[in-house]
Structures are given as C-alpha cells and as structure tokens.
Amino acid sequence: MPMKKKLRTLRVDNSEYLYSIGGTYIADTEESIFIMRIFVDKYSKYALFVHFRVLDDYYVGNPLNHGVLLYNTALEKEIVVNLNRPLFIRLALDYGLEQGWRPTKERLELDGLDLLVQHGYQIDKLLKKTYSK
C-alpha cells in the first residue's frame, strides 16, 4: 500500500507539524513496514521518517496499523498499540527531537521499534521467529 496522501496536523505548544502515515508489504520476507512522515509546513524535504518493520499478519496486514495488544512493562499491563492514534505520532515526534532531528535543517530516519522498546513495550510478537539448534 503506498503512502496515504492525506496530511494530518499535530499541534505541540506553539508549533504545528504535518504528518502522513502509510505502509508497504515485503513479500519475500512476509513483513510489512508502517511509515510515519512528520514535518513542518514548507519544510517537507527535512521530514522525520519513523519506520516500524514487523511480521505481516495474513488477515490484517501490519498489526500496528490496526491495533495490537502489547504488554507494557512500565505500566504492567497490555495496551492496544495502534500507530494511527495521535498519541503514537506524538511519541514519534518527541523521539525524533530527542535523537537530534531539526525540523527545518535536516532529514532523519529512525527505527520505530526502538521507540516502542524505550517506552516499555514488549515487541516479540511483532518480530519474525528465528529457530536455533
């Protein structure tokens, strides 16, 4: 599925960010990538890209696009993680800024799974299982 064209707005204090979300399927590995693209108006070439590469579900596609229960060790309970929700867009924005993204100066690409782990989510069920002897 190509990136959605619809831009949405996220307001943080006095700043306004635009974002789009989308995804793509990788047939060879049966994985999919959920992509967040966040930028300041008129500076789209300096966007923050946050990629979430996970095992694709046969029925629903990327589970993070529709909502998946993940255990959060900080909260000690399962939380529905749906990356379409503004909460997760804001977490990605804050993560990008923490990692040095400058919205009017440079583009940055980050692994979103690191963001989920940093916030206490157990992501094992999203990853391909590897077998060892």
Closest to 38 (Cα-Cα) out of 81, 97, 120, 80 = 97
Instruction: Please check whether residue 10 is in contact with residue 89, taking contact to mean a CB–CB distance below 8 angstroms.
Output: yes
For 66-76, how does the pLDDT look when each residue is reduced to its tens digit (9 = 90+)? 899 999 999 99
Return the higher-pLDDT residue of 12 and 132.
12
Torsion sign over Cα 44, 45, 48, 52: positive
Whole-angstrom distance, CA of residue 45 vs CA of residue 6 = 17
Return the higher-pLDDT residue of 6 and 33.
33
Sorted by where each begins, the domain ranges of the chain are 8-126
Distances (CA, A) of 83 to 6, 22, 40, 41, 89: 16, 10, 20, 22, 7
pTM: 0.86
For 15-24, how does the pLDDT look when each residue is reduced to its tens digit (9 = 90+)? 999 999 998 9
Question: SS3 of 12, please?
Answer: strand
